[in-house]
Structure 1
């Protein structure tokens, strides 16, 4: 339930701290659930949807499912399987033993090369990955990408410069893995040997992969090269034969997301490192499987993530089963949620808000003082081609119709079922290589409290779940809605023109449509946004302005344009607009979670998103009579205005 302004707001703080003025009283009373790392705006909506759907799905065993579509019927079976913890406890580690043995029996790299396809489709980890996605310079067609593996810790920076977080987290990871190995029937000494060997390989990988800051500049993932040249990166892994097995024939081109890693590949993966690689793969596989096994495995397997996020307990059995099953059948569950709880009136109202925001954006692009006419016209063209998806997709992803749950009595353990769905998904995605991109596919389910812009498709997507108070409600004023969902909508539109999105054209292709002078002007403004956030103290650490720049540019553009659009409404209320902007960012988090986000999240901390961006908007000063000397005051020449 959303607090009313009278219950929450301390007007005496408006000039010094908008976030605390709006959320301070709430923060005093808010309690973070033991199985959460945070509570607040986004999380509260998520929790409400979770409770609603779990209550609905409690009735499934007594429901005639023949009236539901096929994927939902299979979801119900998987959900029931996931909730059968008695059987999961009886099975113990047995469901994963065949794949553990497969890793254990691997003798050398040549043997691995000979079974790479089956290894990958079986859900086993590799020190590299192949994926199929839209070619960033020809987004109508799917291309092959070569990517890097994940590390044991969240980011490369944890391994650098004697980072104290390494000394806190790696022992937690080590202890967890050791316990899991013992649960899987390894002796204590064997477990110690395996984890130390695996950590050695992990440490060797770390200096060669991108940090979160480097990955945030995602246009630099586009490094196409001839497959024949890529294959030369390894003397010991036959990339060519692997691609031939996967695709019938290796494509002529592959896009390498992290060239530095593959340039070092031969030093990382060779006969001398094979034993460490093998143990690394074993640990990777084991830690990825724990949520599908017994309660003891599930509890033990979550200890590291809890240390990382500050959660006091693992989620309940019932909740974990819900997220596991709904994660597999995401589009199916989203379709159920949207059709039952999302109304056509709200959809029409939100679509009208989007049209209003696009009109404001067009005016701003046309009247922009620092863009040349040529670049401005191309920006307007891109805006005119922007596609909008609101609520839910027209159809469930056909892939979810392919998932058929194998009954427990026929060997269908929870792990076996999920693993076969992974295989089906991988085979389907690999089969898309060289074929047209499905531009209708959503990357989020309708019950997800979030939104996104896809630069390769030039679309913005707003799932039904986020279209609720405090972001949006037919009961809220237009100004409140524009300060909430309106700013989120305009934020996603702004991503089309942030430091990354601005490098893609109206068709979603990576293509420089800027003049050199305009790009230079934009980069200078982006640097100002970096400087505005960089180094701000938070949670015992500091904000990384480069890591968060794209989201900060989108926040600034979103807030500014939503404010402009709100002015076109008859009941415009300047204060209500900014108050709801601050309200949607309310969040109370564990210190561990805040520090984790500072290291890896491309978004600035919520409190700063609320407070810093309003300082760039002249109307904020008018609304609350903020003047020089007030803590919320920023001199006119320091206010960052891009869009």
Structure 2
């Protein structure tokens, strides 16, 4: 039986390979011009492969980092600009059409002279609402209103699939409301300098909005946010989907917030009349929040909400607000010295609001249909390799393997673009009202999500637009999604020998599949429900491997005094390591026992691993590196490359890595999961 399965998979992969093969002599797809021969691949794979690029490339002045992902995104932006400006200039577009909305939103963003003349006046109505707050009993209703307008508040209300009943939508309540990226920026002594600059920034923004007591209010606002930070869960705590699932009847939610009418806030948000329960992500935070609010004076509360309003809408106001916001969030937090050109920011704003309307035009103009066909084959191949791999695991029992196979069989791939596009008919856009456009867009998105409650799950919905250079796995949908824009070099090269494609996009496919079996995803079944389908012994075996991987990445330090957080990045590290391992198996089977060609002096196996390594070619400013370490579940690029390679047996064979080499890890210490 095993021989039969292997031969079937081989035929499938060979058919895909033949279908995808270029008509001319294939190229390697490896950027050999960036290889640094002075660095041995056996000592530092990442620097050997990318050394000349690292030595000669400057991060653009308007970027916090630069690399394969950033360049591809930057290359896509002018294409989107062309699409958007074409709609802007179209004299035949009809009122209410998507073309009118795209063009007019961009026009409203680019009219800088009008925005400068208006100053803070576009927010006058919202500022008056906040300043008219008579007592703290009005806070739940105010939060509901501000949230609908896309303004950060101490807790967020959102709609998603019920993690234990994935066939229905549920309302969630989650911690929120900080103006800096993570609680550590408020609580760690070594971030005190950033916190001081943050307070100065809050003061200046409040003063520009007319606050005559801006200094005192800024100090009080930062103190309030610090109190919220103290009771918030850490990023690592929030990675546990079981701890975050706290189903609470609407009738009992006020028990979580003594003295605070959360139930009334849910009613004002349009939630309470649609469901009889909510799922609270961090119950202890809500209790802590109610105490913080009770201890704050009314002036501080109003100043806090005014600050959050200004922070959320600064980009859509006059130049002084734009520049002041960039000075902190761009320069202080991320080390960027120059803001992006206004047209790039305008394109990003349109893309954020009308992403699928723009995406529809992008796909028609820039995405060749054959890429989707090739990608469908690659996804099918990697899924097949994963299926075979599960059966060979020596640490998993037959009972758990059966459950794992059942989950894998229910995976749904989505490739390039949606089958059904989003309907923007109810969204009103005007060419002379940027802040109003963004508020209406936020209200539109909120209303659209709240309207899902009580309705069947929309399995055609996408969480990313086609022009997004990324991919994702959804545990409640049990789906893997690959937007059109990632199907380009260096991730996918239609003209290259397939070794590099398996190493790049193949590993991305394997990565997203692996999220279904990482430390979080493995707690959900094939139907997307939180359910423990593991035997206790298998879960213990898995945990031991996960702990070893956590310790491995804990040891990496991209900056003095800052180490990678192995617990925060565990899921992504599992996905990187497993994704490469599975993609390698798929690549080897695709060869059908025949030797791979040597191209550019590189064997097929070498090109496979290099294809993965060049995807993570990147540089990052120091301030942004700290933000990444504090907030991002992904490891820095150099460790995604090197940290993954040291656990791949095929890497050792491909590059003859031996004891004494810096990349060498003894076989018994390598972490191999899937």
TM-score range (shorter-chain normalised) is over 0.9
- Pick from 346, 362, 367: which aligns with 2:392? 367
Match of 1:228 in 2: 251
Q: Which runs of 5+ in 2 are unaligned?
A: 1-27, 597-603
The runs of 4+ residues in structure 1 deviating greater than 6 Å are: none
Q: Give runs of aligned pairs for residues 50-199 of structure 1, distance below 5 A.
A: 50-64=77-91, 66=93, 70-113=97-140, 117-162=144-189, 164-165=190-191, 167-187=192-212, 190-199=213-222
Q: Give the C-alpha shift of residue 394 in structure 1.
A: 1.3
Cα distance in 2, alignment partners of residues 576 and 390 from structure 1: 25
8 Å CA contact 1:146, 1:254 repeated in 2: yes
Q: Give the C-alpha shift of residue 65 in structure 1.
A: 5.1
Cα distance in 1, alignment partners of residues 114 and 526 from structure 2: 53
Match of 1:554 in 2: 575
Match of 2:483 in 1: 463
8 Å CA contact 2:29, 2:490 repeated in 1: no
Match of 1:578 in 2: 609
Q: In structure 2, do the counterparts of structure 1 residues 150 and 117 end up closer, same or farther at CA, with 3 Å as the change threshold?
A: closer
1:634 and 2:661 aligned:
no
Specify the SS of the correspondent of 2:610: helix
Q: Give the C-alpha shift of residue 186 in structure 1.
A: 2.7
Cα distance in 2, alignment partners of residues 370 and 260 from structure 1: 37
1:588 and 2:619 aligned:
yes
1:477 and 2:477 aligned:
no
Worse overlay, 12-21 or 385-394: 12-21
- Pick from 352, 356, 370: which aligns with 1:327? 352
1:445 and 2:465 aligned:
yes
Q: In structure 2, do the counterparts of structure 1 residues 476 and 97 end up closer, same or farther at CA, with 3 Å as the change threshold?
A: same
Q: Give runs of aligned pairs for residues 278-297 of structure 1, distance below 5 A.
A: 278-297=302-321
Match of 1:382 in 2: 407
1:604 and 2:624 aligned:
no
Worse overlay, 458-467 or 193-202: 193-202
Worse overlay, 265-274 or 543-552: 265-274
Q: Give the C-alpha shift of residue 569 in structure 1.
A: 2.8
Cα distance in 1, alignment partners of residues 285 and 662 from structure 2: 46
Q: In structure 2, do the counterparts of structure 1 residues 3 and 618 end up closer, same or farther at CA, with 3 Å as the change threshold?
A: closer
Specify the SS of the correspondent of 1:269: helix
Using the size of structure 2 for normalisation, the TM-score is: 0.90
8 Å CA contact 1:478, 1:569 repeated in 2: no
Measured on the aligned residues, the alpha-carbon RMSD in Å equals: 2.0
1:545 and 2:566 aligned:
yes
Cα distance in 2, alignment partners of residues 104 and 271 from structure 1: 19
8 Å CA contact 2:83, 2:361 repeated in 1: no
Cα distance in 2, alignment partners of residues 363 and 7 from structure 1: 37
Specify the SS of the correspondent of 1:301: helix
Cα distance in 2, alignment partners of residues 620 and 65 from structure 1: 58
Specify the SS of the correspondent of 1:139: coil
8 Å CA contact 2:96, 2:425 repeated in 1: no
Cα distance in 2, alignment partners of residues 117 and 214 from structure 1: 26
8 Å CA contact 2:88, 2:106 repeated in 1: no
Match of 2:5 in 1: none
8 Å CA contact 2:274, 2:453 repeated in 1: no
Cα distance in 2, alignment partners of residues 6 and 289 from structure 1: 45
Q: Give the C-alpha shift of residue 367 in structure 1.
A: 1.8
Match of 2:291 in 1: 267
Match of 1:35 in 2: 62
1:14 and 2:41 aligned:
yes
Using the size of structure 1 for normalisation, the TM-score is: 0.95
Worse overlay, 32-41 or 241-250: 241-250
